[in-house]
Amino acid sequence: MKADHLLFILFLPLILLSALACSQTQTKDNAVLNKTFKTVVGSVCMETDKPMPCAGYTVYLELSFKDDFVLVSEKGENDCGTVSEDKYKTNYSIKGDIVKVDKLTRYGEPLKIDQLLFAKNSLVGKTTGTDGSETEYIFEEIKTK
């Protein structure tokens, strides 16, 4: 009987630490769940013979995280409203503060962001151009209705 108590006392701290680590991981894993993040990924300009404030637009990428997928919206917006929108669902995974989204596009072409870092209610990702230059994208959390 004493050996059972001794084993229990020895393993109790390990069990408690393990439970604590799991609960902290679960909290971090749910940090993006049911939240939407938005960033600017480009712009489209149009040349016109007369000034037209609604001729061009800014391209935004929105990520809306659900339980088992992320809804990605590529939107073209200007002062007149939404000009274009392309939506699709894709998978994502989370490990600690790193979020990986399976598929991201810009102008219908792949946007190669390998991973996003979750920090201070934002997701930060980088792409590397063919010339070696880096572009950083900061997805800010937006409150949805």
Same domain, 78 and 17: no
- Which strand (E) or helix (H) includes residue 96? none
114 and 79 in one domain? yes
Residues 16 and 80 in one domain: no
CATH number of the domain within which 104 lies: 2.40.128
Say how far apart CA 57 and CA 13 lie, in whole Å: 58
Quick one: 19 and 87 in the same domain? no
Residues 10 and 65 in one domain: no
Tell me, yes or no, whether 56 and 4 share the same domain.
no
Instruction: Please answer whether residues 126 and 137 qualify as being in contact, where contact means their C-beta atoms are separated by less than 8 angstroms.
Output: yes
Encoded amino acid at 25, one letter: T
The confidence score (pLDDT) of residue 145 equals 64
Find the domain containing 20 and state its range.
1-30
Domain total of the chain: 2
Q: Which residue matches tokens 């949805």? A: 144
Dig out the tokens for 128 from the structure.
């590397």
Do 41 and 85 fall into the same domain?
yes
Nearest to 35 by CA among 70, 7, 6, 79: 70
Say how far apart CA 30 and CA 67 lie, in whole Å: 9
> Are 42 and 25 members of one domain?
no
Give the tokens for residue 90: 């894709």
**Is the domain of 121 the same as that of 61?**
yes
Query: Are 23 and 61 in a shared domain?
Result: no
Type of residue at 70:
V
| pLDDT tens for each residue of the chain, 145 residues long | 555 555 445 544 444 445 444 433 444 457 899 999 999 999 988 888 998 878 889 999 999 999 999 999 999 999 888 888 999 999 999 999 999 999 999 888 889 998 999 998 999 999 988 898 999 999 999 987 6
